[in-house]
Amino acid sequence: MGAHHDHNHSPHRETAAPGGPGDRPLRIGIGGPVGSGKTSMVAALCRALGNDLSLAVVTNDIFTSEDAEALRRLDVLPADRIVAVETGCCPHTAIRDDISANLDAVEALEHRLGDVEVTLIESGGDNLTAIFSRALVDRQIFVIDTAGGDDIPRKGGPGIATADLLVINKVDLAPHVGADVARMVSDANERRPGQPTIATAVTSAAGIDAVAEWVRLSLEDWQADGPTETNSSSASVAPNALVGE
């Protein structure tokens, strides 16, 4: 591996986390149901971006640090750049309602490392209502997968409707579970007009590339504009992008 640089359902109305370009890193929340591939996506992003950007990761589990330990075993970043929060409660509570444990962990990690450009905050697995407080993150990625059912985008919910980026993961499994990926993307576009959706398999060759590019562009916007309300132009990914098929 190459060297690394050492209950509010209207998130757009929340006050942004304090600080901005020159003050602190861009913070990106990654949420989604159990098994949708959040940890795999964090690992893939670290591999894709870790040689060019200074990254840090905070994971959430209810009673364990399993996700953080898995990322350390995969050696996607130096171990001291990955920390775990054991929420002891419903995952969405710790990312939306009482963010104190996560915010403390994020600020302590960023302060200790000193050179972080992007902090990835992975939620514990939850349902379609699991969104991040805008006092904790600046951008949100929501991850679903084809094996969870191709009706999920149509059913919608705050996670799908309000995330800055929706990732429909595991498109490689779609033929085996009878999922219609094109329909999933179409339904997602109806629920989130003008906001990007990427359908991919993040563990496949080049499957993370479009998501990584969205992160790069989001960082450029953040450094240029600061902690403003979500700017969908931060991702130059077509709203109906299909990747990695």
- Structure confidence by residue, pLDDT tens digits, 21-68: 557 899 999 999 989 999 999 999 999 999 999 999 999 877 678 789
- Asked if residues 4 and 55 have their Cβ atoms less than 8 Å apart, the reply is yes
Domain annotation covers residue 177: yes
* Amino acid of residue 9: H
Q: Do 58 and 105 touch, CB atoms closer than 8 A?
A: yes
User: Is residue 7 included in any domain, yes or no?
Assistant: no
Residue 1 lies in a domain: no
Q: Which CATH number does the domain housing residue 194 bear?
A: 3.40.50.300
Q: How wide is the angle at C-alpha 206 spanned by C-alphas 200 and 211, nearest 5°?
A: 55
DSSP code, position 123: P
Domain residues for 36?
16-242
pLDDT at 5 over 60: no
Distance in angstroms (rounded) separating the CA atoms of residues 83 and 121: 10
Task: State how far the Cα of 102 lies from the Cα of 93, in Å rounded to an integer.
Answer: 11
Return the closest-CA partner of residue 163 out of 188, 146, 185, 145: 188
In a domain, 9, yes or no: no
Report yes or no on 5 lying in a domain.
Answer: no
196: tokens are 């990007």
Number of domains in the chain: 1
Query: Under a CB-based contact definition with an 8 Å cutoff, are residues 75 and 4 in contact?
Result: no
Tokens of 5: 């640089």
pTM of the model: 0.85
Please write the tens of the pLDDT for every residue from 109-168. Answer: 999 999 999 999 999 877 788 899 999 999 999 999 999 999 999 999 999 999 999 999
Instruction: State the Cα–Cα distance between residues 74 and 77, nearest whole angstrom.
Output: 8
Q: Is the dihedral of CA 245, 41, 118, 193 positive or negative?
A: positive
User: What's the pLDDT at 87?
Assistant: 77
What is the per-residue pLDDT for 20?
59
Indicate whether 9 pLDDT > 50.
no
For residue 175, count other CB atoms closer than 10 A to its CB.
10
- Establish if 102 belongs to a structural domain: yes
C-alpha span between 231 and 99 (Å, rounded): 23
Q: Please report whether residue 222 resides in a domain.
A: yes
Q: Is residue 11 in a domain?
A: no
